[in-house]
Each structure stands twice: as structure tokens, then as C-alpha cells.
Structure 1
Amino acid sequence: MTITLYELTGRDTERPFSPHCWKTVMALAHKGLTYERSAVPFTEVPNVENGIGKTVPVLRDGEHVVSDSFDIALYLDEAYPDRPTLFGGEGGVALSRFIEAWSATQISATIFGALLLDIHSMLEPVDQDYFRRSREARLGKSLEDVVGASPDKVKELANRLDPLRLMLKRQPFIGGDQPLFADYIVFGILQWARICSPIQLLQPDDQVTAWFERCLDLHGGVGRSVAAAA
């Protein structure tokens, strides 16, 4: 069976940037599965697989179509139990639910504003128009105003990463000696920033930087298949 991953891209279809899609890329690599990648711009997301979801990633595996990165990871562990586990059991699923909520509120929400104009610049004009209208309606202000207010918020990131930093003093991955889907959740957000913007979020001597570099090297260096923004 052919596996197809629908993932978000901008003008350059070789630079997929969605944090949620990167979770799935890492999950597929973790499982050692081969797949085809289908580039989807913002305005085409509603047309993917007859509108199965409002967002990507979407995964088609033969007759099975699954949306949402977490649901895709659960599906992969169920469909391919003979391959390396993404969760290590129900405890790992519960851990990953917490990591997803923590990273969304403490990491993604902290850096989102700083990336808006960089993301906008990566898109085709029709997608730029959609992105600006939808984000400005959600945020209640212009992209420029949000980005202008973001530097102070980004400075908060170092402290917000303290729980991860302290844990990484004891083990190389969130999953322990080896990565699990919980690692890929956090990785996806930092990879999103790495691909979209040259902004420096982490210091070179940070425990989190060392962990992120280890994640970039995983699975044949799939995380490095897209260069960092210049």
C-alpha cells in the first residue's frame, strides 16, 4: 500500500514548515515507513481528501485516511505494531497529551507572533491574502503590530523551557533513552521556527539546543532535509 502525507507548504514546495506536519514526518521516519509527500498550500487544505479535516497533516494509508497529527501517530502505532513504538503504551499516550498541551501554551503561543511575517513571506499571493485575513481576524490586530510586540514575549521562552531543560539533564530525550512521539511534538514547533525564520530562540550551550540537534540527526537526518531559514 502507498502511504501519502499531505503537508503544508508555501511558494517553495520543498520547504514544508507546519509544526504539526513535522510531527508526522518524524513519526513516519520513526516507524521506518516509506511514503509520498503531497504539498498543500493554505487555500487548498479544504480540498484534501474531500475535506476530511480543516487542517493538515492528513495521511492516506491504503483505504485509511486519518487527519490530525496525534490521531495519525495513534493510527501508526495500531496499524504497525511490529515497528518501533511511538508511545510505549498507554502511559506514553497520556504523557504525549500533556506535552502537546504544554508545548502549545508555553512554546508555540510564545513564539507564534514573531513568525507571522516570515510565514507570510513564504506564501503565494492568494495564500498571503488568506493568511493575513484569517490571522488578523483571530488576533484583532495587524500582522505587523503583532510582530512588533513579539520580541519581549520571545524572551520569555527560555524560562518557559525550564521543565524540559531540567529533565534533559537526566536523559537524552523526553521519551528516555530513545525518542517517542512526545519528543516530536516539541521538535515540530522548534523546526517550524527554524524553517520559517532566522530568529535565534535558543542559546548554543542550552540543554534544549543539544536535544534539538539530536532530534535533527534522527532517522538519517530527516529533520535537516530542509535547511534553516537564512
Structure 2
Amino acid sequence: MPAPIVFYDIPRKANVPSDNAWSPNTWKTRYSLNIKGLPYRTVWVEYPDIEALYKKLGVESADKGPTGAPIYTLPLIYDPNTKVHVSDSAAIARYLDKTYPDTPTLIPRETDALHAAFQRAFAAVFNPGNGGFSWLMMPETYVRLNPASQGYFRRTREEWFGTTLEELAPRGSQKRQKHWEAVKAAFHEVAGWLQAGGQERLFFLGGETICYADIVNAAFVGWIRNTFGEDSAEWRDVLSWDEGRWGKLAEAFRKYESVDEGSPLEL
């Protein structure tokens, strides 16, 4: 059994450790680790500490912003078995496939190019540039973060969107309804991909085989459920979309949703 991988994740307000995990991007890696059955331990990192963590570890940022400046994001893992750091959820999935070939494969070699294309298409569908998922979720995410992260999150997101978080999707507004309809349309488009050729699939590879594209889907479905709650009108609405497809996907991923207690970052 390999030594536990260190998994850096972003916490939020929670009464129990299992509610700490919320970010769709880090959930992609948590799902990946859980599906593969690899041992790991979580280190919880507040937003303002992510850049300091990268610099302390000597890890280069995988992303750059509009000005070319590095953007420091999670997930990030450290594998003590190989003494390697890897950031970006897709890169982590590929690393885990290569390093632990005796575990379930997330990105089969013959689908590698298709997965790369899927990521670009999925991002374009869910964030078209004029409203949708991010506009709806940013304000909801902000109020659920720990105080240590809220100031950083507000400042950076308001710079990105050019407006206050409160103005992105005010409750009860037509703007919010428009964003929600865009989210519904995005999921419906992805459902169309899964029905290509007249076949009804829950997973992209068909049958019971889960791949990384399914993990991406499940992470975004889970973001809605985990943010608004299973008793919310929003989640009940999602359950009605596309003949109940997204509720079925969420249920299929339940067994991969274990969250360890973890420990806070010590810089």
C-alpha cells in the first residue's frame, strides 16, 4: 500500500468535516482519488494562503491570468511515493493513471485527445461569457466560505466580473432566473452529447465505466447540490431536468464522496 498522498483542498463553513469539501475543481481530484482507492490525507488551505503554499513548496503555477501573471489555484497534490507535486485536476488524473496503473483508469489512453477536447467544450458551454453558472454560483459560494477566505474571494471575483458579487445574480431577479435557465441549457447540451447516436448513456464510455469526463459532470452537479442543499428548490429543479439524468449521476457518485477530517495548512 503506497503512503498517503497529500491533497490540498479549500474548506468552507461546516459543522462536520464531510461538509468542508465544496469546490467543483477540487472535487474532481477527490473523486479521482476515491475512485482509484488510493490513500490520501487532506490539508485544508484558505484562499489567501494558496500562493504562499505554492511558493513554499517551490511549485510553479499551472495557470496564467489575462495579464500573464500566474494564478495559484487548487487542487494540488504531493505524492510522497514519488516526491512529485502535481496541480490541475486533469493533470492529476493523468498522473494517477500513469503512476498507479493497477487502479481504475480515469482517462484511457485512446480517449486522451477526446478528453482534452471535452474540457474545452464543457468550459465553453457552462461559462459562455455572458452569464450562467459562474454568475449564479459566485455569490452563493462567497457566503459559505470561512471568513479567512471571504475577503480574498470577493476582491478577486469582483475584479473578474467588474461588478459586486451582490449584483451578479440577486435573489428574485430576472437576472438570476436568466442565469439559472442558462445553467439548465448547459446541462441539457451535455445530455445531448451523452445521447449521440441515439444511445442513452449515463456515463460517457457507456455501461458502468466511469471516466474523467463523468467526474467533471458529477463535480458540477455536486456543486449545486452541496451549495443549495438537497431540500432546496434549486436541487429539486435539477432533479427534474433531462428525465432525471443528473439525479441519477449524483446517486452513482455517492459511494465516491468520502471526505477525511484532514488538517489545516501550517505555513
From the superposition, tell whether residues 213 and 223 of structure 1 become closer, same or farther in structure 2 (CA, over 3 Å). farther
Which secondary structure state, in structure 2, belongs to the residue aligned with residue 59 of structure 1?
strand
Q: What residue is the counterpart of 1:123 in the other structure?
A: 145
Larger mean Cα displacement after TM superposition, 31-40 or 148-157: 148-157
Residues of 2 paired with 1:30 and 1:80: CA distance?
Answer: 12
**Superposition map of 1:41-80 within 5 A:** 41-49=46-54, 50=56, 52=59, 53=61, 54-62=72-80, 63-80=83-100
Q: What residue is the counterpart of 1:136 in the other structure?
A: 158
The letter for the 2-side match of 1:101 is R
Give the CA deviation at 1:157.
Answer: 2.6
Structure 2's unaligned 5+ residue stretches are 62-71, 261-267
Does residue 153 in structure 1 map to residue 196 in structure 2? no
Q: What residue is the counterpart of 1:83 in the other structure?
A: 103
Q: What residue is the counterpart of 1:187 in the other structure?
A: 218
The letter for the 2-side match of 1:68 is D
Structure exhibiting the larger radius of gyration computed from Cα positions: 2
Which secondary structure state, in structure 2, belongs to the residue aligned with residue 36 of structure 1?
strand
Give the CA deviation at 1:209.
Answer: 3.9
Q: List per-residue Cα deviations over 1:54-101 (Å, max 9, x = no partner).
A: 101001111111011011001001001121111121x32222222222
Give the CA deviation at 1:155.
Answer: 0.6
Q: What residue is the counterpart of 2:234 in the other structure?
A: 200
Residues of 1 paired with 2:258 and 2:41: CA distance?
Answer: 18
Q: What residue is the counterpart of 1:162 in the other structure?
A: 188
Residues of 2 paired with 1:209 and 1:34: CA distance?
Answer: 33
The equivalent position to 1:19 in structure 2, one of 14, 21, 24, is 24
Residues of 2 paired with 1:81 and 1:185: CA distance?
Answer: 21
- After superposition, the CA RMSD in angstroms is 2.4
Aligned residues: 224
From the superposition, tell whether residues 21 and 199 of structure 1 become closer, same or farther in structure 2 (CA, over 3 Å). farther
Q: What residue is the counterpart of 2:10 in the other structure?
A: 8
From the superposition, tell whether residues 160 and 2 of structure 1 become closer, same or farther in structure 2 (CA, over 3 Å). closer
From the superposition, tell whether residues 147 and 205 of structure 1 become closer, same or farther in structure 2 (CA, over 3 Å). closer
State the TM-score, normalized to the length of structure 1.
0.86
Q: What residue is the counterpart of 1:174 in the other structure?
A: 204
Residues of 1 paired with 2:138 and 2:188: CA distance?
Answer: 25
Q: What residue is the counterpart of 1:210 in the other structure?
A: 245
From the superposition, tell whether residues 211 and 93 of structure 1 become closer, same or farther in structure 2 (CA, over 3 Å). farther
The letter for the 2-side match of 1:173 is F
Q: Matched residues, percent identical? A: 24
Give the CA deviation at 1:215.
Answer: 4.2
The equivalent position to 2:256 in structure 1, one of 209, 222, 225, is 222
Larger mean Cα displacement after TM superposition, 129-138 or 203-212: 203-212
Give the CA deviation at 1:223.
Answer: 3.0
